[in-house]
Chain A
Amino acid sequence: MKTAKLMMWALVTALLFSCRYGVSVESFPPARTATGVASDIMTDRGRLTGELIEVRDSGIVILAERVLRLLPYSEIVSSRFEGLNRGVTLGNRRPPTAESREQLRMASRFPPGLSPEMLEKLLQAHGQTSLAGSNP
């Protein structure tokens, strides 16, 4: 019994002094700010990096280099979303699984989706009349 207690004490000490790595809520911008998760998307036409704005049934809306773009799932070769679990995947020109889509949606800037009025205001603010495509 005594040995078990001592072992437990040693384990707790070891865990207290252990090193942590990876992402925590303190270092995950979407948890502290109003922005969506940073994303790095490879399409057939090139690479785009920017903020995930909205997740739709047909694709995702991102803000890359101050341009709002709608990237259809059929054009996304591979992607990375910083800080999200590696199980959250989007690529192979296919829509994400329901689970990945839900995680992406919640990490986007507008998880409930953009209403037409909200989208219009955002487009106006970026000098656009409609969403651009994937052509960089």
Chain B
Amino acid sequence: MKKIALYLALLFVALSTAACILISQRVQVQKIEPRNDVNITTPVKAHLKDGSTVTYSSGVRISGGKIVGEGQMHDLLLTTSSTVKEIPLDNVLGMESFRTRVNRAESVIVSTLASAGVTAGAALLAVAIFGSCPTVYSDDGTVEEAELFPSSIVPLFEARDIDRLRAQPDSTGTLRLEVRNEALETHYINHLQVLETEHAADEFVLPAANGNIVAVRDITTPQVITDRRGQDIRQRISAVDESFYSTDLRTIDNASIADMNDWVDFSTPVEAGSESKTIVFRLRNSLLSTTLLYEIMLGPAGAHAIDWLNRDLSTISTAVELGRWHQKRAGLHISIWRDGGYQAIARIPDSGPISWHDVAISIPVQPQETSLRVRLSFLADHWRFDRIGVASSTRTVTPRAVPISEVRESNDGQQPEGRMNMSSPDNRYLQTNPGQRFFVAFNVGSRSDKSRTFLLSSLGYYIEWIRGSWIQTASADGPFQPTDESLLSALNKWRSDREAFEKRFREARVPVR
């Protein structure tokens, strides 16, 4: 009896442990010397002198001066293929075999993370819901400045981000920022630099959606600006303050597969001779995209999510498919009423749910137009608008790029390697883990005669940690598929938990050390 109990206990321990053992694997390609009496049981490729390629999915035997095995022969242009059983070695230029190899070090690390997640249980992971890329602060960590490359969830989505900073240099001409990892993510920062702009005192400098930096003047709020339900939202979006626009709950309730959008409409006059009109936004995302990432894309897939992030999204076609879906559904889509309908003219990508982001778009004006009828459409409740305004004048600014002068760790130790890793866009990265932070300085110099605005240009990506609890409670059969059904599902979850989720999100950042 005791023995059976012991076996059952061991089986339980083994299966519990199994839930946390994650084995990382890679493919190793090896050259084969085409010689006799060799048996290979893994996939093999033979390259022939005429440019043809033969693929053997189950391996080959080489004997009697021939390659023996069932293979598919493809011509040089890969336009035709035929089955072959034997190939004389004389026709072969080279051969290679493919084997799956276990990456032992990575398996141990990831398994430990997953196990730690399970062991620490809900206590740790329930609070660690804060998920969103590197966060940047100034003034000794008291001013939230920006969140960097929020949509870059895998290496292939690595992207450049430009954020307007409020920070100014100290008396020595040094601009100091603090970069934190406050989420259960690994951050890979490729490049950081500050862009310095000089401008008149009454100009407001900000990034434009097309990648330029612009200086605008006299930002005014449209006289009439309404949401999809026809409600006047002018008061909420007219100034940089605590008041902002978010989608009416009734619009979210009415969302369906066929129609998940909210929109904001306004008109603005066009002055005679104008060639373009600039709209200025101060906005941020809601936590709907975080809900989508955690509760739909990663959580239900459990361990499959590791494959999806690590393997599927390393597949260029899969990444492109997800990117297209994301581009179509996420972001802010700007249309102009022309020729009896709204015509899409620009898109502002997602900017993350933490910090307000200033961004401008320039709309080309047609010669006969005296006013522009503008529609901003977006997935219901995906955006928060603090300000929507129209500028009276705009000019493109050429900034001065200022490289990093110094990187320091929390313990005040200099990190020359960190500076080197982030000094140029290349294949070197500064990597940070949850709870880590560093301090970065830019020697921008002192100027008292000119107004200056600084922007932070960043390049990188981040990888979400797959929580042990997700692996234990996985409910999906496979990895995430980008569909409108999944988006509607995220919207419904978000609708039911919006206020509570926002509160937990704010309270649950991973403390930095």
A interface vs B, CB < 8 Å? 6, 9-11, 13-28, 30-35, 38, 40, 42, 49, 77-80, 82-85, 89-92, 103, 106-107, 109-112, 114-115, 118, 121-122, 125
Whether B307 is near chain A, meaning CB under 8 Å from some CB there, is: yes
A residues in contact with B30, CB < 8 Å: 106
Whether B315 is near chain A, meaning CB under 8 Å from some CB there, is: yes
Evaluate contact between A91 and B55: CB separation under 8 angstroms: no
A residues in contact with B316, CB < 8 Å: 38, 40, 49, 82
Binds A, one of B41-49, B169-177, B488-496: B41-49
How far, in Å, is A134 (CB) from chain B's closest CB? 15
How far, in Å, is B50 (CB) from chain A's closest CB? 8
Evaluate contact between A110 and B425: CB separation under 8 angstroms: no
Complex: A93 Cα to B13 Cα, angstroms = 51
Choose among B6, B22, B72, B427 the residue that contacts A92 (Cβ–Cβ < 8 A). B427
CB-defined interface of B483-506 with A at 8 Å, one 1/0 digit per residue? 000000000000000000000000
- A sample of 6 inter-chain contacts (CB < 8 A) reads A19-B23, A21-B303, A22-B103, A23-B26, A38-B316, A106-B30
Q: Is the interface of B mostly helix, strand, loop or mixed?
A: mixed
Evaluate contact between B22 and A21: CB separation under 8 angstroms: yes
Whether B153 is near chain A, meaning CB under 8 Å from some CB there, is: no
Once A21-B306, A21-B307 are accepted as A-B contacts, the answer to whether A10 and B27 lie under 8 Å apart by CB is no
How far, in Å, is B297 (CB) from chain A's closest CB? 16
CB-defined interface of B425-464 with A at 8 Å, one 1/0 digit per residue? 1111000000000000000000000000000000000000
Evaluate contact between A21 and B311: CB separation under 8 angstroms: yes
Evaluate contact between B78 and A6: CB separation under 8 angstroms: no
Once A21-B22, A31-B27, A112-B94 are accepted as A-B contacts, the answer to whether A14 and B314 lie under 8 Å apart by CB is no
Complex: A82 Cα to B11 Cα, angstroms = 38
How far, in Å, is A64 (CB) from chain B's closest CB? 10
| Segment 35-80 of B: residues with Cβ below 8 Å from A | 42-43, 45, 47, 51, 53, 55, 57, 72, 74, 76-78
Evaluate contact between B78 and A35: CB separation under 8 angstroms: yes
Evaluate contact between B306 and A85: CB separation under 8 angstroms: no
Which residue of A has the minimal Cβ distance to B31? A106
Complex: A31 Cα to B97 Cα, angstroms = 8
A residues in contact with B26, CB < 8 Å: 22-23, 83-85
Evaluate contact between B98 and A28: CB separation under 8 angstroms: yes
Evaluate contact between A80 and B314: CB separation under 8 angstroms: yes
B residues in contact with A122, CB < 8 Å: 76-77
Complex: A121 Cα to B346 Cα, angstroms = 42
Evaluate contact between B77 and A121: CB separation under 8 angstroms: yes
Evaluate contact between A21 and B100: CB separation under 8 angstroms: no
Which residue of A has the minimal Cβ distance to B306? A21
Evaluate contact between B426 and A92: CB separation under 8 angstroms: yes
| Nearest 9 pairs of A and B residues by beta carbon | A17-B18, A18-B21, A31-B98, A13-B14, A91-B427, A19-B303, A34-B53, A34-B74, A21-B306
| Segment 76-127 of B: residues with Cβ below 8 Å from A | 76-78, 81, 93-94, 96, 98-100, 103, 110
Evaluate contact between A109 and B426: CB separation under 8 angstroms: no
How far, in Å, is B436 (CB) from chain A's closest CB? 21
Complex: A126 Cα to B57 Cα, angstroms = 29
Interface size counted on chain B using CB atoms at 8 A: 61
Evaluate contact between B311 and A23: CB separation under 8 angstroms: yes
B interface vs A, CB < 8 Å? 6-7, 10-11, 13-15, 17-19, 21-31, 42-43, 45, 47, 51, 53, 55, 57, 72, 74, 76-78, 81, 93-94, 96, 98-100, 103, 110, 155-156, 190, 303, 306-307, 310-311, 314-317, 320, 425-428, 471
Q: Name 7 extra pairs, CB < 8 A, besides A13-B11, A79-B427, A84-B26.
A: A9-B10, A21-B303, A21-B311, A42-B425, A77-B426, A84-B27, A92-B428
B residues in contact with A19, CB < 8 Å: 21-23, 303, 306, 471
How far, in Å, is B225 (CB) from chain A's closest CB? 37
Evaluate contact between B43 and A21: CB separation under 8 angstroms: no
Evaluate contact between A18 and B43: CB separation under 8 angstroms: no
A residues in contact with B17, CB < 8 Å: 10, 14
Once A11-B14, A22-B311 are accepted as A-B contacts, the answer to whether A6 and B427 lie under 8 Å apart by CB is no
Complex: A29 Cα to B317 Cα, angstroms = 12
Evaluate contact between B18 and A16: CB separation under 8 angstroms: yes
Complex: A48 Cα to B307 Cα, angstroms = 25
Choose among B21, B29, B156, B428 the residue that contacts A107 (Cβ–Cβ < 8 A). B29
Complex: A16 Cα to B18 Cα, angstroms = 8
A residues in contact with B425, CB < 8 Å: 42, 77-78
Complex: A85 Cα to B25 Cα, angstroms = 9
Evaluate contact between B76 and A14: CB separation under 8 angstroms: no
Evaluate contact between B315 and A82: CB separation under 8 angstroms: yes
B residues in contact with A84, CB < 8 Å: 26-27
Which residue of B has the minimal Cβ distance to A28? B27
Choose among A20, A23, A38, A80 the residue that contacts B27 (Cβ–Cβ < 8 A). A23
Complex: A89 Cα to B427 Cα, angstroms = 8
Evaluate contact between A14 and B18: CB separation under 8 angstroms: yes
Once A23-B27, A32-B57, A118-B76 are accepted as A-B contacts, the answer to whether A82 and B314 lie under 8 Å apart by CB is yes
Evaluate contact between B22 and A18: CB separation under 8 angstroms: yes
Complex: A11 Cα to B22 Cα, angstroms = 13
Evaluate contact between B426 and A121: CB separation under 8 angstroms: no
